Amino acid sequence: METFTWIPQKTFEYGSEYKTNISTFGGGKEQRRKKYSSGRGIFHLSFPTCPNADAEAILSFFDARYGAYESFYWVHPLTSVTYTVRFVSDSLKIKYINPNCRSLDFDFKEVV
């Protein structure tokens, strides 16, 4: 499995996500079932001033994973913990800043 090696430049967000199925019955009663046995990590990476070569390399990495289809390894830049993640979206947009610089941001989701 491949590893995503680029480190976000300035903005980096992380948190936890749970998936709960909620069934509503007559009288307002609810039944809840958890789909995950524990929270899954969610991560937002931002590259506001990314050199062209890095932006193209990230796009190639994204394309090689077929967007959200294939998972990969990613090392959390603050904790050095390695996660198995995938892209959340099947699309990745790169914003033109100037001839030498691009901007991009995207989300990862931990997979089991």
**pLDDT average, residue stretch 28-50:** 84
Give me the residue spans of the domains in the chain: 6-18+35-110
**Interatomic CA distance for residues 87 and 70, integer angstroms:** 8
Answer yes or no: are the C-beta atoms of 102 and 50 closer than 8 Å. yes
Instruction: Name the band, by pLDDT with cuts 50, 70 and 90, for residue 17.
Output: confident
Instruction: Check residues 35 and 4 and name the one with the higher pLDDT.
Output: 4
pLDDT of residue 10: 67
**CA of 96: how far to CAs of 7, 26, 100, 112, in Å?**
20, 53, 9, 35
Position 53 pLDDT exceeds 80: yes
**Which DSSP state fits 87?**
E
User: Which among 7-11, 18-22, 55-59, 75-79 has the top mean pLDDT?
Assistant: 55-59
Element (H, E) at 58: helix 52-64
pLDDT of residue 29: 84
